[in-house]
């Protein structure tokens, strides 16, 4: 199912298989970024972290991902949250239930 992405702060999306390759554990990410229980979850083959209000912590985590061999855009991606509150943004991985392929007509 698509995940609602909040406005006003970045949200990080990581392919689940890539996240698992890093060896990082949720508790360490939660502690590093000061996350609540609702700000880290797995949806299908995505790990979704956010909204993230700690800019320096986010930058350090992104650097660590790259140091661990993950590639920005291929393995992880950040949505800035820079859109108005009246806009609802939903995200999910390609092929996830509830998402249509761009080449298919909407029903």
- pLDDT-based confidence at residue 104 (cuts at 50, 70, 90): low
Tokens of 25: 């554990």
- pLDDT-based confidence at residue 71 (cuts at 50, 70, 90): very high
Can you say whether the dihedral through the CA atoms of 49, 54, 58, 61 is positive or negative? negative
DSSP class of residue 75 equals T
Who has greater pLDDT, 104 or 26? 26
Let me know: does 65 contact 19? Beta carbons within 8 Å. Answer: no
CA-nearest of 28, 49, 54 to 39 is 49
Min mean pLDDT across 4-18, 36-50, 55-69, 90-104 is at: 90-104
pLDDT for res 98: 56
Question: Chain-wide mean pLDDT for the chain?
Answer: 88
pTM: 0.84
Tokens of 81: 């949250």
User: What is the mean predicted confidence (pLDDT) over 86-101?
Assistant: 76
Let me know: does 10 contact 80? Beta carbons within 8 Å. Answer: yes
Residue 66: CB atoms within 10 A of its CB come to 13
- State what percent of residues in the chain have pLDDT above 90: 69
pLDDT for res 8: 95
């Amino acid at each position: 199912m698509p995940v609602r992405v909040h406005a006003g702060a970045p949200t990080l999306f990581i392919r689940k298989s890539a996240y698992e390759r890093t060896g990082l554990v949720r508790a360490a990410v939660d502690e590093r970024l000061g996350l609540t229980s609702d700000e880290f979850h797995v949806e299908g083959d995505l790990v979704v972290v956010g909204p993230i209000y700690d800019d320096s912590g986010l930058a350090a985590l992104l650097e660590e991902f790259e140091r661990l061999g993950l590639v920005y855009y291929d393995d992880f991606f950040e949505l800035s949250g820079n859109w108005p509150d009246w806009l609802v943004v939903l995200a999910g991985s390609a092929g996830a239930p509830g998402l249509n392929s761009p080449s298919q007509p909407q029903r």
